[in-house]
Amino acid sequence: MNSPHMDYSLAPSASGPASWLETFLVTGLVIAIGVWLAPEDPLQVQGEFPWSVMAPLLLGVRYGFVRGLISASLLVLAFFVLRQSGLPAYAAIAPSYIVGVLVCGMVVGEVRDLWERRLLRLQMANEYRQYRLDDFTRAHQILRVSHDRLEQRLAGSDQSLRSSLLGLRDRLRAVPNGHDPLTLLAEPALTLLGQYGSLRVAGLYRVEPVRGQAPKLTQLAATGVMGELDSQDLLVSLCLERNELVSVSAELIDAGGQASVSSLQACIPLIDTEGQVLAILAVRQMPFFAFQERTLSLLALLAGHIADLLHHDAQVLQLESADAQHFTRQLKRSLMDVERHGLSGCLYAFEMTRPNDELARLFERSQRGLDLHLPLHNERGHELLLVLLPLTSARGAEGYVARLGKLIHEHFGMAVELDGLGVNVMFYDLESARQRDGLRNFLHNECGLNDQQVVV
């Protein structure tokens, strides 16, 4: 309450007894001083300036309309009392003095009251904003403490999303020949999905196509009590029909109508880059705070990456270089993320028409954390560097090229550009094109590559 933001008072309050006492004392003092200094004209009616009018002016400014009017009325009353006492200067009535004194007291008091009302409204608005600011500050402090605790919890955890996927890959490599990797990795895959989706009751089911019938669903792993899964369930049938994530709307769950639609809240397919559904994740119960589009999209992305690990693409395995295999898998995954989830992705091809080892090392230094580089030789006999920028929009790709140009200027001089070094820059936006045929045309025709180098 002692904060400076609460100090909006123009003058002391006019509602207390002190204001009345001060009104009579100041007015009486002005009259008494006039009688003492000029007994023949105490109110300065005949003088050059009526100094007695200062009393209603001062009281009107200090306490408002009512006190100013009362002070002016007391001066007018004193005028008539002095007139009755026989002062010759007051024998004739001075209308201008009477009206002027009353008007001065009223006008100044009204202006003061007007500003007090305005300041009162400002004070009320300021108090409301201060209340909202305090409420926001408390919420911010709670959020900051919660965020700090979350950071401490994550910092103490020895497993990240990347390390989890790498762990699954290491387990997959350790699977003996002839064994089913999906069966062996079902438990750790479900554990990973449950960790990032906060799943309470969920199950991972293998999808086995049956000719002329609904696919056969076999439970591989479960969290909580799942039991058998009906292939005729609405969410399951829609998921298998569309090969995409299907969930019940949050509004339907809030209204209690979920049971009439499906026994599940969400159904997420494990679909690889070739569009083959290996399994489905059936979610029967998850916390309300986690049941949102962002969490479900994350689960769909994780399910796709797990499917890529479990299912080896025969075309990719034909590539001799391990780097080319890894680059091709990531390129297909980026293209699928663009097609199915609306994410961004860009691909650059830098064709060096003449050898330049320094430029090659500069390209290597320019690689960011998520970017993928694949050096190749195209059919034109030139060195070509493919740069995949996953989760990067066309505007972000322009920033990458600008950063690369800055590095070239620092290393080769301000007047040197990529084309001056014999580099042809070719760009392909995965988000705007969304066509595998267009990507193949870009790689084969524009870049001069073949199916033994990159497969899409």
pLDDT tens digit at each of 456 positions of the chain: 455 555 555 455 556 677 777 777 877 788 787 778 777 777 777 667 777 777 788 888 887 777 887 878 888 787 777 777 777 766 676 777 778 888 888 888 888 888 888 888 888 888 888 888 888 888 888 888 877 776 666 555 545 566 666 677 677 767 676 677 788 888 888 888 888 888 888 989 988 888 777 788 888 888 888 878 887 888 888 888 888 888 887 666 666 666 667 788 889 998 876 678 888 899 988 887 778 888 888 888 888 878 877 765 556 655 656 678 778 878 887 887 787 767 788 899 999 988 888 888 888 888 876 788 899 989 988 999 999 988 788 888 888 888 888 888 888 888 888 888 889 999 998 876 556 788 888 888 889 888 888 877
**Number of structural domains found in the chain:** 3
- Asked if residue 107 is part of any domain, the answer here is yes
Question: Which pTM was predicted?
Answer: 0.45
- Asked if residue 364 is part of any domain, the answer here is yes
pLDDT at residue number 1: 46
319 and 291 in a common domain: no
207 and 106 in a common domain: no
388 and 291 in a common domain: no
355 and 387 in a common domain: yes
The range of the structural domain enclosing residue 279 comes to 177-310
44 and 69 in a common domain: yes
d(CA 51, CA 73): 15
185 and 61 in a common domain: no
CATH number for the domain harbouring residue 306: 3.30.450.40
Q: What is the DSSP string of 367-389?
A: --SS-EEEEEE-TTS-EEEEEEE
What Å distances lie between residue 338 and 303, 346, 410, 439, CA to CA?
Answer: 15, 10, 35, 13
CATH number for the domain harbouring residue 399: 3.30.70.2880
Which residue blocks in 247-383 are alpha helix, DSSP H? 250-254, 293-310, 314-317, 322-341, 357-365
391 and 348 in a common domain: yes
State the residue for tokens 């605790």.
149
pLDDT at residue number 426: 92
Question: At which of 310, 325, 353 does a domain end?
Answer: 310
Which residues 6+ apart lie within 8 Å of 244 measured at CB?
Answer: 269, 300, 340
322 and 286 in a common domain: no
Is the distance from CB of 71 to CB of 63 less than 8 angstroms? Answer: no
pLDDT at residue number 258: 62
- Asked if residue 165 is part of any domain, the answer here is no
What Å distances lie between residue 272 and 121, 248, 337, 348, 429, CA to CA?
Answer: 64, 24, 11, 24, 22
Question: At which of 266, 290, 310 does a domain end?
Answer: 310
Residue type, position 306, single letter: I
- Asked if residue 168 is part of any domain, the answer here is no
194 and 93 in a common domain: no
183 and 281 in a common domain: yes
d(CA 227, CA 259): 17
Residue type, position 228, single letter: E
pLDDT at residue number 96: 76
357 and 377 in a common domain: yes
The secondary element (H helix, E strand) that includes residue 247 is: strand 246-247
